[in-house]
């Protein structure tokens, strides 16, 4: 690996995914033997200011001179630290801050003029996700002195202040504009030879999953009767499966557990998180089981008997078949993919993430990470006593089925 010095300066509104991308860059370049450090302005702010002063949205108002001066000072502290790092053993300094004004970006370039600067602008195109991200941020210790609603509103107001001074990238020599939800590069310009560019370019567009566990809910009353859909509870056996899974993960930190909105996945998640304070359960409707339309709550036998045309058409082409008034695997794909992106985005590069899903949904999740011909996806085996462990980083790919009960 080439060993040249580089500054990576993030650009973007609060809650646009900058810190997640920064930590991904650090992990990936670090694994390649590159000395990389992230300099986060929020961390310095917490060092030098009282939380209660800087969680108040007006601190970020462009016309509040004192706030502007403090924030400039914070940026300068990080520039000094980054300069010292690069002058010493450091290869890459990542400046994790909003850097939304051209003036600030000019300061970065001037201050670190001995090194090339690569700007990475993060854009989150999904208002619903921005909201979800705001509610996650509002739950952080910074906002502990405020009510949840006040904290969220303060954060929204902060974003609005930054929007007023936002100047998208354009004139800079080296930059990419990244859609952080879809890991898609929207615009880019690179002049000359930028150190680490090939690895960075690849990394920015890759899913980055350190440990994702995909499990199906335990047995339900409907499962016993071979009924599809519905919203039934776990059976006694299902509860034992949930307990066994909880035991299996007892020593694994699980900061994020994603479920559908159905009772069976939530019962499973609450067993797993019971008695732990490191667990946050997030319900995503994107992970709800395939909607069987007019066949909801029927048994497979009853469908075959009373609606032979449905049974035959589905058997003929299970992937493309769409239940009347409901969904099919093909139409489910987009929704579940969105759920996966959302879960990865919300969990912000957490080391361990668990998804408690359903049979059809889990098939779609798995096929997001492991190629399967579409016609084979609806037949992926999804047991209730095992989970899939998935790792997908730049240097490591794992896809294994792990048994969690005897
Ligand atoms: O039977 C359980 C279940 O989750 C149903 O709710 C759902 O309709 C079905 O599995 C999906 O599996 P398949 O596509 O194989 O019918």
Specify the CATH number for the domain of residue 128.
3.40.50.300
* pTM attached to this predicted model: 0.87
pLDDT at 79: 97
Can you give the residue range of the structural domain that contains 174?
6-204
Protein residue with least CA distance to atom 1, ligand 1: 228
Same domain for 228 and 300, yes or no, is yes
Give the residue from 189, 204, 219 where a domain finishes: 204
Same domain for 367 and 241, yes or no, is yes
Protein residue with least CA distance to atom 6, ligand 1: 229
Same domain for 171 and 267, yes or no, is no
Residue 262 sits in a domain of what CATH number? 3.40.50.1240
Q: Does a structural domain hold residue 327?
A: yes
Distance 360 CA to ligand 1 centre (A): 6
pLDDT in tens, 70-89: 999 999 999 999 999 999 99
Same domain for 316 and 256, yes or no, is yes
* Active-site annotation holds for 217: yes
Q: Is 195 in the pocket of ligand 1 (CB under 6 A)?
A: no
Q: Is the pLDDT of residue 3 over 70?
A: no
Same domain for 289 and 256, yes or no, is yes
Q: Is the pLDDT of residue 1 over 60?
A: no
Same domain for 252 and 197, yes or no, is no
Same domain for 230 and 133, yes or no, is no
* Active-site annotation holds for 289: yes
* Active-site annotation holds for 216: yes
Give the residue from 176, 204, 232 where a domain finishes: 204
Question: How far apart, in whole angstroms, are the C-alpha atoms of residue 66 and residue 79?
Answer: 20
Q: Does a structural domain hold residue 1?
A: no
pLDDT at 175: 97
Distance 172 CA to ligand 1 centre (A): 51
Q: Is the pLDDT of residue 90 over 90?
A: yes
Confidence of residue 51 (pLDDT cuts 50, 70, 90): low
Q: Is 292 in the pocket of ligand 1 (CB under 6 A)?
A: yes
* Active-site annotation holds for 223: yes
Protein residue with least CA distance to atom 15, ligand 1: 378
């Amino acid at each position: 690996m080439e060993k040249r010095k580089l500054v990576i300066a993030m650009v973007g509104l609060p809650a646009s995914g900058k810190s997640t991308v920064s930590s991904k860059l650090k992990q990936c370049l670090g694994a390649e033997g590159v000395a990389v450090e992230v300099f986060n302005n929020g961390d310095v702010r917490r060092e030098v200011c009282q939380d209660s002063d800087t969680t108040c949205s007006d601190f970020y108002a462009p016309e509040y001179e004192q706030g502007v001066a403090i924030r400039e000072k914070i940026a300068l502290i990080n520039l000094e630290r980054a300069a010292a790092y690069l002058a010493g053993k450091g290869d890459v300094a990542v400046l994790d801050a909003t850097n939304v004004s051209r003036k600030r970006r000019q300061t970065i370039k001037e201050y670190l003029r001995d090194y090339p600067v690569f700007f990475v602008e993060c854009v989150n195109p999904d208002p619903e996700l921005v909201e979800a991200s705001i509610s996650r941020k509002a739950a952080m210790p910074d906002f502990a002195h405020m009510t949840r609603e006040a904290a969220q509103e303060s954060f929204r107001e902060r974003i609005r202040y930054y929007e007023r001074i936002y100047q998208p990238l354009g004139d800079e020599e080296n930059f990419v504009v990244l859609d952080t939800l879809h890991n898609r590069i929207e615009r880019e310009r690179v002049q000359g030879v930028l150190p680490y560019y090939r690895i960075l370019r690849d990394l920015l567009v890759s899913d980055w999953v350190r440990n994702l566990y995909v499990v199906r809910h335990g047995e339900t009353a409907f499962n016993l009767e071979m009924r599809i859909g519905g919203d039934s509870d776990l059976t006694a056996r299902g509860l034992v499966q949930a307990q066994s899974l909880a035991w299996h993960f007892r020593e694994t930190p699980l900061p994020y557990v994603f479920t559908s909105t159905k009772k069976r996945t939530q019962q499973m998640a609450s067993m797993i998180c019971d008695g732990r304070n490191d667990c946050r359960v997030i319900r995503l409707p994107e992970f709800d089981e395939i909607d069987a339309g007019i066949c909801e709550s029927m048994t497979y036998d009853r469908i075959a008997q009373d609606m032979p045309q449905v049974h035959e058409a589905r058997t003929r082409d299970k992937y493309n078949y769409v239940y009347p008034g409901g969904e099919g695997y093909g139409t489910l794909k987009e929704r579940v993919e969105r759920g996966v992106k959302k879960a990865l985005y919300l969990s912000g590069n957490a080391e361990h993430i668990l998804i408690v899903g359903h049979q059809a949904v889990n098939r779609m999740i798995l096929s997001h990470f492991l190629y399967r011909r579409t016609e084979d996806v609806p037949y992926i085996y999804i047991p209730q006593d095992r989970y899939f462990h998935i790792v997908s980083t730049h240097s490591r790919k794992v896809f294994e089925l792990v048994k969690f009960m005897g």
